[in-house]
Amino acid sequence: MPRVIVLDTLSPEGLSLLAADPRIQFDVRTGLKGEELRTALAEYEGAICRSGVKITADSLAGNTRLKAIVRAGVGTDNIDKEAATRLGIVVMNTPVGNTISTAEHTLALMLALSRNVAPAYHALLEHRWDRNKYMGTQLADKTLGVVGLGRIGQAVATRAGALAMKVIGYDPFLSPERAAELGVRLFPTVDAMLPEIDYLTVHTPLTDETRGLFGPKQLQIVKPGARLINCARGGIYDEGTLVEGLKSGKLAGVALDVFTEEPCTDSPLFGMPGVLCTPHLGASTEEAQAQVAVEGVTLLVNFLTTGDIRHAVNMSPLDAKTLDSMRGYLDVAYRLGLLLAQLDQSTARSCRLTYRGELAEKDTKLLTASFACGLLSAAMAVEPNIVNAEVLLRERGIELTTESKSEKGAFASVMGAELVTSQGKVRAAGTLFGHDMPRLVQLNDHQLEAYLDGVLMIFPHRDVPGIIGSVGTTLGRHQVNIAQMAVGRANRGGESVGILNLDDTPPAEALAEVRAHPAIHNTTVIKLPAAGKLPSWLQSGPP
Ligand code: NAD
Ligand code: MLT
């Protein structure tokens, strides 16, 4: 009989589901870490946790028994997913159970901040009746900026609308049509919104793009008197900048539920006027905890008793044979998605995929899902996988169409992808050399042959003598080594594109120098996984 370990406090609704199921045994063992956690995990087939326990590579080392870890909540940042995947352990989460509670907590912080609820109550505790000191502000008719309009961001936007706030937003993966349905006026960047907002709230994952999304530069341009709220992840607002903004009076208030380091019991923000903080309570409601516990237990028990996999964050439900036969092209599709998402970062509207030659005979739905994974990869709180990526794309109002043609072109198989955005259109096509060498064979109107891995520097230019030498010399001067080079041109002296595979990311000064060449139009740096490095869901077979 499979055994389950409960690693963090779970709501009674989840525990009684476990207790009532005769097909499994379970133990509640909270507060484990280090060696004690490692030996405990090795005694169970399934584990369920919240965010308290840290399941690191060390705590999974040598584990041959554990088959699944379920996170009762959204963020799986406390689980080493790569380590779990390598060991064939499925990691699942419950993405929807705490959406409403977190949205409500955001509103609670906004209201409490605006009406000085916490300091006014503190004054009463100190026997002071300070009616004049705590003058508040209304939310009605104020402008709320929402960054990240996924599940929680959308729930916040609709609720803010009901409070008669004007809602504006930024999310590169939300279509204008969906934004209009939500009553949100979309902006092209966060910075463009800042001069207009009275309140700012963020609901994105913490990524390289969102870390420090509000920093010193944003403090300069934000509307004076703005109030900032963060119920997503610590670090999205630079905490030092918040302190500066409050001290200078540029910011009227800051409310945080999440912190760069957690637990956080000491911060320069604590005690400053206009600050309101809670200890990561967004999902801490009876309803949310009951829902994530019930969803989590159901996922785990179904998996352990029937093999059913849903909401997996580190693998797809593919059987091993299909995965083996398609791995190379799934990788090409994924890399094309990553490439197009970086080539044009404005609002995505639609994608059109074409499969030509032998590829058209394969399961193109999987290839489409893999492309969608790449396209969304940088944007999601939880890395999308082949199971959920296409649905997530459609949920964001991004139209996806595919076309298959079995007649061959220049290659036995080729996959083309076109992304239409608010700014225009980008196109690319890829193929596979051998079993595992993805190649880019078309970029916009240019045919070429470039490696689809590592750091790419793309520079459209006019075909004049000396360009390659000049770019090479500039990069050499900045100690950036060129690994590969490809040029696509329509005709001599015409418009061309150069693609360099670089060993390192070129510094901004090097890019500026490259762009200073009169025949070079612009430069774009694209970061793709190293050759042979696959996303976690593409590495793993079934458990
Ligand atoms: P989600 O995946 O549904 O939505 C995230 C959205 O952010 C997506 O629509 C994505 O397109 C957008 N996005 C990504 N990068 C962006 C960028 N650079 N600029 C603008 N938008 C960007 O996730 P969710 O369930 O809504 O969760 C949002 C956040 O809230 C996550 O960080 C999650 O971990 C956190 N969370 C916190 C609590 C809490 O207790 N405080 C509870 C639940 C979730
Ligand atoms: C989540 O990711 O689900 C939230 O941060 C809430 C939690 O950690 O429980």
pLDDT digits (tens, 9 = 90+) for 356-383: 999 998 888 889 989 999 999 888 876 7
Residue bearing the CA closest to ligand 2, atom 8: 51
DSSP 196: G
Give the Cβ contact number of residue 135 at 10 Å. Answer: 8
122 is known as an active-site residue: no
Atom of ligand 2 at shortest range from CA of 75: 2
User: Residue 168 Cα, ligand 2 centroid: separation in angstroms?
Assistant: 25
Phi, psi (rounded to 5 degrees) for 474: -60, -50
Q: Is the CB of 153 under 6 A from ligand 1?
A: yes
> Could you tell me which residues are beta bridge partners of residue 457?
500, 525
> To test the ligand 2 pocket, which listed residue (9, 71, 104, 280) has its Cβ within 8 A of the most ligand atoms?
280
Sequence letter at residue 281: L
Strands 166-170 and 184-186: parallel
Contacting residues for 294 by C-beta, under 8 A, at least 6 apart:
11, 13, 14, 17
Q: Do you know the residue count of the chain?
A: 543
Set 50, 203, 233, 446: catalytic member? 233
Strand residue runs (E) in 142-239: 143-147, 166-170, 184-186, 199-202, 226-230
Lowest mean pLDDT among 76-90, 168-182, 398-412: 76-90
Per-residue pLDDT tens over the stretch 234-281? 999 999 999 999 999 999 999 999 999 999 999 999 999 999 999 999
Q: Each residue of 7-29: pLDDT tens digit?
A: 999 999 999 999 999 999 999 99
Query: 202 in ligand 1 pocket by Cβ < 6 Å?
Result: no
Q: Cα separation of 56 and 270, whole Å?
A: 31
Residue ranges and CATH numbers for the domains of the chain are: 3-96+287-306 (3.40.50.720), 99-277 (3.40.50.720), 320-531 (3.30.1330.90)
Asked if pLDDT for residue 541 goes beyond 60, the answer is no
Beta strand spans in 32-81 (E): 46-49, 68-71
Q: Which of 532, 377, 352 is nearest to 451 (CA)?
A: 532
Determine contact, residues 527/374, Cβ cutoff 8 Å: no
Q: Whose CA is nearest to atom 6 of ligand 2?
A: 283
283 lines ligand 1 (CB under 6 A): yes
DSSP 8-state assignment for residue 192: H
- Residue holding tokens 């390598």? 86
Q: How many Cβ atoms sit within 10 Å of the Cβ of residue 503? A: 12
Please tell me the distance from the alpha carbon of residue 82 to that of residue 200, in angstroms, as a whole number: 34
Residue 322 has pLDDT above 90, yes or no: no
What is the residue-averaged pLDDT of the chain? Answer: 93
